[in-house]
Amino acid sequence: MNLWNKLMCYSRRHSPWLFHMNGGSCNGCDIELIASLTPRYDAEQLGVRLEGSPRHADILCITGPVTHNATNAIKTVYGQVCGPKAVVAIGSCPASTNVFIDSRTLEGPLNKHIPVDVFVPGCPPRPDAIILGIAKAAEILAERAAKKLPIEPVVMPLIGPGCGGACACGTSTEAKTEEVTQ
Amino acid sequence: MNLTTALARLLIFPGLLFAVPAAWFLLWVERKAVARMQGRIGPPFMQPFFDFIKLLGKSMPPRSGIGGLLMRAWPLIALSAAAGAVGLLPVLPASGGFQGDLILLLALLELPSMCIIAAGFSSGSIFGEIGSAREAVLSVSYNIVFLLAILSIAASQHTFSLAALAQLPASPLRWLGIAAILVCLPAKLHINPFSLPNAEQEIYSGPMTEYAGPELALWELSHGLEWVAATGLVATLIAPAFTLAWVAALIFVALSFAIVLLLSVVAAATARLQIDTTVRFYWQCTLIFAVLAVASALFMRLRA
């Protein structure tokens, strides 16, 4: 790999521009995605920028269980994003249609329609989990553009309440101490 | 000698070799200052450079026909005009060669916004057209004040030559003109109280909606060069004349930095105004002062 390719790979990892799309979401995940850009989490430290146009974006962030109405829009917007690109499915809805499963208005899950790179589970996922997912997607995007790898979906670990102590958030120990005091 | 100095100015300082890194630096300062004002940490130092490189490596949507050709051309014209405007700035003490004057500098500063208007209309996107219409309205509003301010400076100092203006000591009237230019800069650079053409929560990215990849990289770079040229114009008008080249260059850079900080702080502290409020602001509030400045400049010239 020569110097220019190395620089390009590094730049792609450090400048993920997002386009956010709602595929029939309840707005919970959308709020968390915006929260990841606010002062408390500040995803701009990683170079993340929320773009207004899908033409500018590298990473397509899709929330929601993919309703009948949203299907064609999602496919169109996926086509409008210029390559190399990656797709992050935010929340449990695009991964499995969540509590809306078997609804006659749904066409989900998302990977029936477009290839998904990263699933960020949670209902809604915490902003730190979303940032982790975006960073992973940027890494995948840079590697895939350099080496022409096939798309293999990655499921991110659950962070926050319900993680069962799998992460360092400390919620499980807090819950235990609460039970003990009660 | 004259040709070499002219080329050195256009290509090295304050031309391309200096202006491109300076454009990235000023874009970073703007983003960082807004982030700090909002209590965030903000992007890393090399961020605009990484963005530029990444955009160069992206694919472009297919374009065909005259419309497609025009869409390819607009960012190039905007970029070369902005680079030319930076190259004209009289940062270093005059040493012969091509110097240009205020009128040429104004024309070059105006070309990128003309290109943005044309780009939005030739993209055929409804959001691009709305953005271009807004940019056109905005440009008609602030340019009257901007031109009157420049005119008042030129009239008060009896010259349109940039090098002469940079050498002369600032008169009180020039400070009035500089204040009027500073009021126009947020509209010229599309930042916050007047960020109407690229209002991303309303009309996606305005005229830039259909641009992608290397074309967008050129637009970003030309926007950065516009920052360098516009803040540099104010910096050269404020800066006292120095015969030592490196002192003059250092003061120029420091002043540009301070002006960018000021503009970014104003941008972070304000919300976007409506289009009619913006037009009213420039035509009703600011125009009176600009006309007063020109009138007093002419009056003083008659008395002298």
What's the CA gap between B50 and B28, in Å, rounded? Answer: 11
Give B236→chain A minimum CA distance, Å.
33
The model's pLDDT over B89-103, given as tens digits with 9 standing for 90+, comes to 777 666 555 567 788
The verdict on whether omega for the bond into residue A39 sits within 30 degrees of 0, i.e. cis, is: no
Report ipTM for this prediction.
0.85
What's the CA gap between A83 and A21, in Å, rounded? Answer: 17
Taking 60 as the threshold, does the pLDDT of residue B300 lie above it? yes
- Residues from chain B that touch A38, judged by Cβ atoms under 8 A, are 40
Q: Element (H or E) spanning A86, and its range? A: strand A86-90
Assigned token pair, B47? 């961020």
What's the CA gap between B185 and B208, in Å, rounded? Answer: 20
Domains and CATH numbers, chain A: 3-181 (3.40.50.12280)
Range with lowest mean pLDDT among A32-46, A161-175, B109-123, B238-252: A161-175
Interchain contact, B209 vs A11, CB within 8 Å? no
Interchain contact, A8 vs B58, CB within 8 Å? no
Model confidence pTM above 0.80: yes
pLDDT for the residue numbered A18: 93
Is the minimum CB–CB distance between A34 and chain B shorter than 8 Å? no
Residue recorded with tokens 């895939």: A144
pLDDT for the residue numbered A17: 93
- Residues from chain B that touch A56, judged by Cβ atoms under 8 A, are 205, 208, 211-212, 216
What's the CA gap between A119 and B220, in Å, rounded? Answer: 32
Q: What are phi and psi of B161, to 5 degrees?
A: -75, 130
First to last CA, chain B: 38
| Count of domains forming chain B | 1
Residues 96-125 of A with CB under 8 A from B: none
Interchain contact, A7 vs B200, CB within 8 Å? no
Range with lowest mean pLDDT among A108-112, B52-56, B199-203: B199-203
Question: Tens-digit pLDDT profile for chain A (182 aa)?
Answer: 689 889 999 999 999 999 999 988 999 999 999 999 988 888 899 999 998 889 999 999 999 999 999 999 999 999 999 878 999 999 999 998 888 888 899 987 898 899 999 999 988 899 989 999 999 999 999 888 888 778 788 888 877 665 555 555 555 444 444 444 44
Residue from B219, B226, B204 nearest B56 by CA = B219
What's the CA gap between B213 and B259, in Å, rounded? Answer: 30
- Residues from chain A that touch B61, judged by Cβ atoms under 8 A, are 55, 80, 82
Of the partner residues A11, A52, A80, the one whose CB lies closest to the CB of residue B50 = A11
B248 touches B273 (CB < 8 A): no
Is the minimum CB–CB distance between A146 and chain B shorter than 8 Å? no
Where in the sequence is the domain holding B196, given as residue range(s)? 2-303
- Residues from chain A that touch B31, judged by Cβ atoms under 8 A, are 44
User: What is the three-class DSSP state of A62?
Assistant: strand
Interchain contact, A56 vs B57, CB within 8 Å? no
Residue from B31, B71, B55, B12 nearest B227 by CA = B31
Which residue intervals of chain B are DSSP H helices? 2-11, 16-37, 47-56, 65-88, 102-123, 126-157, 162-167, 172-188, 200-203, 213-238, 245-269, 275-280, 287-303
A17-22 and A118-120: which strand pairing?
A: unpaired
Interchain contact, B47 vs A47, CB within 8 Å? yes
Interchain contact, A44 vs B43, CB within 8 Å? yes
pLDDT for the residue numbered B1: 47
